[in-house]
Amino acid sequence: MFHWLEKNPFLFAVGVFIVIAFAGLIEILPSFTNAARPIKGLKPYTVLQLAGKEVYKKDNCIACHSQLIRPFKSETDRYGKYSLSGEYAYDRPFLWGSKRTGPDLHRVGNYRTPDWHANHMWNPKSVVPASIMPAYKHQFKNIADLETAYAEAVTVKKVFHTPYGNDIQPSKAAFEKYYKTTALPEALKIAKAMKNKDVLAMVQQGKIPEIVALIAYLERLK
Amino acid sequence: MNSFIVKGLALAGVLVIGTLVVIKQMHIDLSDPINMITFLGAIAIAALTFGVGAKYMAQMKSDTASGELAEENWDGIGEYKNELPAGWAYSFLGTMIWAVWYFFWGYPLNAYSEIGEYNQEVKNYNKKFEAIHKNASPEVLKEMGESIFLVQCAPCHGETGDGLSGKAQDFSKRFTKEQVLAVIKNGQHKLNFPLGAMPAGMAQGKDAQAVAKYVANGLKGTAPTAWTTCAGCHGTDGKGNGGTAPSLAGYNLPLVKHVLANGKTGIIGHMPAFPGRFTPVQEKALAAYLGTLKQ
């Protein structure tokens, strides 16, 4: 019956490969898709948080900080519960990092405050005397790029069906409306908690400095 | 006796003697059980290798084919009917039984998991930790509290617990006057003590000022008349009525527990909650350490 197959060794080899690869796929893929699903209650990043994530990437926080708590007692004692893959479902890309010159930041939103971050980014030694982290004072002046972050939200909503609401639409007018009604109040809340008068004044004038976006992002890491 | 066996055993003997020479040369102590086992193993390997090898070599030389031929015949090549070796057959049956066990119980339902190992590790560690430090001495608690403080609390409260010039609570005292006035004015309802929320405006004007001065001063001197209102819940000594209300006199265990569980929001700012981060012994240690910070 399969005599013709035995006479074609190349075809046979291809057939064997397909059979084995198929077995591998049905064993491996379901667990991958399961693990990649967002965990219950996970919300996509707000536009302000996305802008903060860009600041995080731009200023290369990933070079010294990881965002992945491994299930070892020594790590969970210091940083909190170990990370689950579903927690990164809306991270495009995820920022796990591979180097810990500074501490892990995956749950930093649980145990720091906007006020602390503001002091720390302005001068790390003012709160942690032994810190070797440089100061990031430019973040208090530079304006965060909310427009690009908004475009990112529009894109992932369209391409990956990230569950954003109807306020994320591909038009300039929609962005301006979102900026006024959603992003600015969110930024104002953070600026108020930061206790920095200059930053608060800037946000009240309708400008969002990078530090506010970054803190919004760090506060989201829980 | 076959000459092959003799030669094989002779070679084995030479190897054993060689081993003995090495033992003698290197001063290896054979009273050590590990060395002795290794030595016996070397002898066994030498004897088996050459003994068994020689036996089959001899057999190949002298043996002739015999036995009953099977019916199959391939172009004149026949096959004897050989019994399945017993050891081989039993091993085969064994693997079949093992496979059933492995498929139904061993692998899919009882698989190794990293999280499972982690849970087990934490469970065992905490059990051991709680057992060792069940009746920890004050010195041990203080030391433990200090190391926890330096990792978890110092980033906000400072390495000496001074609150980094007003950025967080200053542990060298329980209250400043402004803090007491703010609590009297706004009340406090987030710490979830058994006696419940403290309503806003429990004292007014001069009374509030007098109480604030008295509390900020560490409850020293004579208590103002308005203190009776506070003492109703916080106790006459201000120590919190045995854990039913926050202590105003210092940082005791109930206060540390409630702040860690609920966080704290006051005029300085907001402290996040740390629920489930510390074991009961660690909370005790933190309270003990904060107690030593008080001036």
| Coil/strand/helix, residue B70 | strand
Taking CA atoms, what residue in B is nearest to A72?
B118
Q: Is residue B160 part of a domain?
A: yes
Convert the pLDDT of each residue in B127-179 to its tens digit: 999 899 988 899 999 999 999 999 999 999 998 888 888 889 999 888 899 99
Residue of A83, A116, A189 to mutate when probing chain B, most B C-beta within 10 A: A116
Task: Give me the pLDDT at residue B43, please.
Answer: 87
Domain limits at B174? 127-293
Domain ends where: B43, B60, B77?
B60
Complex-level ipTM = 0.81
Task: Give me the pLDDT at residue B2, please.
Answer: 65
B184 with B267, same domain?
Answer: yes
| pLDDT classification of B108: cutoffs 50, 70, 90 | low
B48 with B133, same domain?
Answer: no
Q: How many independent structural domains does chain B possess?
A: 2
Domain ends where: B60, B87, B106?
B60
Average pLDDT over residues A47-63: 96
**Average pLDDT along chain B:** 88
Q: Is residue B134 part of a domain?
A: yes
How far apart are alpha carbons B259 and B265 in whole angstroms?
Answer: 10
| pLDDT classification of B118: cutoffs 50, 70, 90 | very high
Annotate B75-111 with DSSP letters as a single string: TTEEEE--PPPHHHHHHHHHHHHHHHHIIIIISSSS-
Calculate what percentage of chain A has a pLDDT beyond 90: 84
B149 with B278, same domain?
Answer: yes
Between chains, do A73 and B121 touch, taking CB under 8 Å as contact?
yes
B281 with B140, same domain?
Answer: yes
**Total-model pTM:** 0.75
B163 with B25, same domain?
Answer: no
Q: Single out the residue of A206, A168, A169, A172 nearest to residue A187, CA to CA.
A: A206
Convert the pLDDT of each residue in B11-65 to its tens digit: 888 888 988 898 889 888 888 888 899 989 988 988 888 888 888 887 888 888 7
B151 with B242, same domain?
Answer: yes
Q: Say if residues A10 and A17 touch (Cβ distance below 8 Å).
A: no
Task: Give me the pLDDT at residue B167, please.
Answer: 87
Domain ends where: B60, B77, B98?
B60
Whether the pLDDT of residue B216 is over 80: the answer is yes
B150 with B271, same domain?
Answer: yes
CA angle B253, B255, B259 (to 5 degrees): 120
User: How long is chain A?
Assistant: 222
Nearest to A82 among B118, B156, B274 (CB): B118
Q: Is residue B95 part of a domain?
A: no
Q: Is residue B28 part of a domain?
A: yes
How far apart are alpha carbons B66 and B62 in whole angstroms?
Answer: 13
Task: Give me the pLDDT at residue A213, please.
Answer: 97
Contacts of B159 in chain A (CB under 8 A): 129
Task: Give me the pLDDT at residue B109, please.
Answer: 65
Taking CA atoms, what residue in A is nearest to B148?
A78
How many contiguous H segments (helices) and E segments (strands) does chain B have? 12, 4
Between chains, do B277 and A129 touch, taking CB under 8 Å as contact?
no
Choose between B202 and A58: higher pLDDT. A58
Convert the pLDDT of each residue in A115-174 to its tens digit: 999 999 999 999 998 999 999 999 999 999 999 999 999 999 999 999 999 999 999 999
Q: Is residue B285 part of a domain?
A: yes
| pLDDT classification of A210: cutoffs 50, 70, 90 | very high
| pLDDT classification of A198: cutoffs 50, 70, 90 | very high
